[in-house]
A and B are shown apart, each in its own frame.
Chain A
Amino acid sequence: MHPAPSVIIFTCISGLGFGLLTFLGLNFPDVSGWTAFWFFFIAFGLAVGGLVSSTFHLGNPQRAWKAFSQWRTSWLSREGVFAVLALMVMGLYALLVIFFDTKIAPLGWLGAALSLITAICTSMIYGQMKTVPRWNMSSTPVLYVMYSLAGGALLAGQMTAALVLIVFLTGFQIYAWMQGDKRFDEAGHTIESATGLGNLGKVRLLESPHSGENYLTKEMIHKIGRKHAMKLRIISALFLGVLPIFVMTFMEVHHIGAAVLVISHMIGLFISRWLFFAEAEHVVGLYYDKR
């Protein structure tokens, strides 16, 4: 699949934003006044910034509001609805905390739950795609939620939680990469099964429908950069997990150290999300004899 920068930025930073909102809703860290303002400012900036970025890849963004209507069937629609609900509830919670120094715990819990559900909805946009076997597995939602929570814990300065979550996340990401590598073949999709001509013999594409590219080949059949996938996975795992885990375990983390941790984790996150798209193979590629 084509790794569109707007979608990578959207899933990464809004995931982090809602992860941080989850922790803030649960009252970690226990802050108020200006300190609380800055925490909420970062959380809302990331969550909203991500959502805005997601509209950049739309053909007709001026109608984006219509996307709230089909929550009964569409995960994308659900994501929009829950994102707005989470932002509204957490917005109210934040207002009370910052300006009135009042904490209504149940309101925070509700906001936290809605933030987490938003992250799940985002993951299901991809997880539901039967046409992309690498995405269509149960580890996709688990992975997205873990990314959201681990990054959220780091941003919320919850070092113990962050350490535990990042250890699990890194391990699980490596497991998901390995599982993903097998998915397409396990699903049994071949050019023979796609064309239904397998009983007549071995099938290959003799002539493509057209000499150039088309929307489908550009959008669904992305092969550039895949050859470096292994190296990128290693780099991603290092920045995402290994480096932060090392720093958190063996060093005293102060402000600058925390910033370095966050940046390192985010670099790892962006690389892994790029791979999530670039490595995903859509079954339509079979009709073009490409994967």
Chain B
Amino acid sequence: MTALPASTPKKLGLAIDLDICVGCHACVINCKEWNTSNYGAPLGDQDAYGANPVGTFLNRIHTFEVKAPEQPAQTVHFPKSCLHCEDAPCVTVCPTGASYKRAEDGIVLVNESDCIGCGLCAWACPYGARELDAQEGVMKKCTLCVDRIYNENLPEEDREPACVRTCPANARHFGDFADPESNVSKMSAERGGLVLMEDQDTKPVNRYLPPRPKADIQTDGDIDILAPFLEPVADTPKGLLGWLDKALEAI
């Protein structure tokens, strides 16, 4: 049913740290690897080795440059995957009931055997989190690795989304936003987690932790701001070096 649950006891989602992400795309690759070989239709590629490769991805990293006047520009890597919205417009537009939001944990999923591939849900998502697979003609989206997080066949430490598990910088965190004491809730409260495109009224669950303000270091015209902190090395040489130093000075 494409009616949304009034509320969900759990709100599983991601806290993504824009200050930490280094834009390595490891999460993109691991997401694709896990999701192409597990639940549902594989994530197809077309012309993979040709001139115009295209393919289905559930997680993509954009890289932005932010420039304030009189300041050096700042690079912000921006991972983007489904935000598992509470008021998910992608679910309510679906004519077949293939798109749904789970009442128990709020994960937004597509039942592929009901999906007709009309693409309407992808139009309704403001974040570009849904992609129609050209091979299978069904809608693909982030499942929050629903087949990992509850999977008792996996070792405990692997029971989190593939992107979170793989991130070498620890920029992605998985947890329950309905629980104010959870890791993600605390992190988001502390850092003022961003709600993406709030004006679209989708009430996303995922939060983006904004880049921390850059330290405003006064350099007094000295380009190398660290040099003054270095201990001077070998101020007065001793031994052989000392003799050499004196000898050379004498010439």
* A residues apposed to B, CB below 8 Å: 1, 57-61, 63-64, 66-70, 72-77, 80, 125, 128-132, 187-189, 191, 193-197, 200-210, 212-216, 218-220, 282-284, 287-288
Contact = CB atoms under 8 A, between A and B. Distances in A.
A204 B117 contact: no
A193 B196 CA distance: 8
14 contacts: A70-B96, A73-B3, A77-B96, A131-B123, A196-B208, A205-B64, A209-B57, A214-B54, A214-B57, A220-B122, A283-B126, A283-B200, A287-B127, A287-B128
B66 A202 contact: yes
SS class of chain B's interface: helix, strand, loop or mixed? loop
B66 A130 contact: no
Contacts of A209: 28, 57, 60-62, 80
A130 B199 CA distance: 10
Contact of A67 (B71, B118, B134, B210): B118
A207 B52 contact: no
A58 B56 contact: no
Given A69-B95, A193-B197, A214-B55, 5 more contacts: A66-B96, A68-B95, A200-B211, A216-B128, A218-B54
A206 B200 CA distance: 25
Contact of A197 (B76, B91, B127): B76
B200 A58 contact: no
B93 interface: yes
B115 A60 contact: yes
SS class of chain A's interface: helix, strand, loop or mixed? mixed
B42 interface: no
Contacts of A191: 64
Top 5 nearest A-B pairs (CB, nearest first) are A59-B117, A59-B137, A201-B68, A209-B60, A77-B95
B92 A130 contact: no
B201 interface: yes
Contacts of B73: 201
